[in-house]
């Protein structure tokens, strides 16, 4: 369409001896646009498209890299690069191999479960199904102690707390046994353990 307008103006300008500058307004085209079309006469309208370069990988090269990776899934992309060179499959740099495999989604090392970070604490449906043991480091009159707090997971009620000069596994067990003797004397611990109704979490 662009070249046809330029040809039309040139042909009728020669026949009618009317200046070229008179035609663009009649055709509804600005003068700057018409002279730009005339300067680009015969060229492909690329619309700022990328011009293919010699070093770009062709489609068959990318497919060859992916196929070779699928045949050798345990090899890293660097080793894969030189293996393809030795096998005369394709000659590319390790960076290009990595880019092709990354775009194809073949570089995920770990097939791990989605992270539950930020989803919050799963609230127990009933009381005394989850006790949370939290240990903090506090300063009391210039001396640092360990504050051990036991929270009930359903109501977030502070069931028990204790200050200790040290915090080892034995100290946690002592605090837990005190809690059982103080608050839960009517419960039988062996029944709770067998039923799995109590879970402890130490942070």
* Tens digit of each residue's pLDDT (9 = 90 or more) over 30-82: 888 888 888 877 776 665 556 556 567 888 999 999 999 999 988 889 999 99
What CA–CA distance (Å, rounded) separates 147 from 142? 15
- pLDDT value for 203: 36
What pLDDT score was predicted for residue 133? 82
Total of domains in the chain: 3
State the Cα–Cα distance between residues 121 and 59, nearest whole angstrom.
49
pLDDT for 196: 45
Q: Is 114 inside a domain boundary? A: no
Distances (CA, A) of 191 to 31, 34, 182, 185, 195: 94, 92, 18, 13, 6
User: What confidence category does residue 154 fall into, taking pLDDT thresholds of 50, 70 and 90?
Assistant: confident
Tell me if 46 is assigned to some domain.
no
3 state DSSP class of 158? strand
- Average pLDDT over the chain, rounded to an integer: 78
Report pTM.
0.34
What phi, psi does 77 have (nearest 5°)? -70, -30
What span, in angstroms and rounded, lies between the C-alpha atoms of 111 and 58?
A: 30
The backbone torsions φ and ψ at residue 151, rounded to the nearest 5 degrees and listed phi first, read: -110, 145
Q: Are residues 98 and 64 in the same domain?
A: yes
My answer on whether 64 and 22 are in the same domain is no
Q: Do 34 and 65 fall into the same domain?
A: no
Please tell me whether residues 137 and 94 are part of one structural domain.
no
Are 145 and 179 in a shared domain? yes
Give a yes or no: residue 94 inside a domain.
yes
The secondary structure of 27-91 as a DSSP string is HT--HHHHHHHHHTTT----TTPPPP-TTSPPHHHHHHHHHHHHHSTTS-HHHHHHHHHHTTS--
Residue 98 lies in a domain: yes
Q: Which residues form the domain of 150?
A: 131-185+198-202
Do 136 and 180 fall into the same domain? Answer: yes
Q: Is residue 93 domain-resident?
A: yes
**Which phi and psi angles does 132 have, rounded to 5°?**
-110, 120
Is 191's pLDDT higher than 90? Answer: no
Same domain as 66, residue 22 = no
| Residue that the structure tokens 């949370």 belong to | 132
């Amino acid at each position: 369409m662009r070249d046809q307008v330029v040809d039309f103006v040139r042909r009728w300008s020669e026949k009618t001896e009317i200046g070229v500058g008179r035609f663009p307004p009649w055709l509804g085209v600005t003068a700057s646009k018409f002279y730009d079309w005339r300067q680009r006469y015969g060229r492909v309208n690329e619309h700022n498209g990328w011009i293919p370069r010699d070093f770009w990988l062709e489609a068959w090269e990318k497919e060859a890299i992916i196929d070779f990776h699928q045949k050798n899934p345990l090899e890293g992309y660097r080793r894969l690069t030189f293996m393809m060179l030795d096998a005369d499959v394709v000659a590319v740099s390790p960076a290009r191999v990595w880019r092709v495999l990354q775009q194809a989604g073949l570089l995920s090392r770990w097939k791990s479960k989605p992270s539950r970070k930020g989803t919050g604490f799963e609230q127990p449906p009933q009381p005394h199904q989850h006790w949370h043991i939290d240990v903090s480091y506090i300063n009391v009159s210039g001396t640092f102690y360990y504050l051990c707090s036991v929270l009930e997971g359903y109501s977030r009620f502070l069931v028990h707390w204790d200050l200790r000069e040290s915090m080892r596994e034995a100290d946690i067990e002592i605090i837990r046994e005190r809690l059982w003797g103080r608050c839960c004397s009517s419960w039988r611990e062996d029944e709770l353990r067998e039923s799995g109704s109590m879970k402890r979490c130490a942070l």
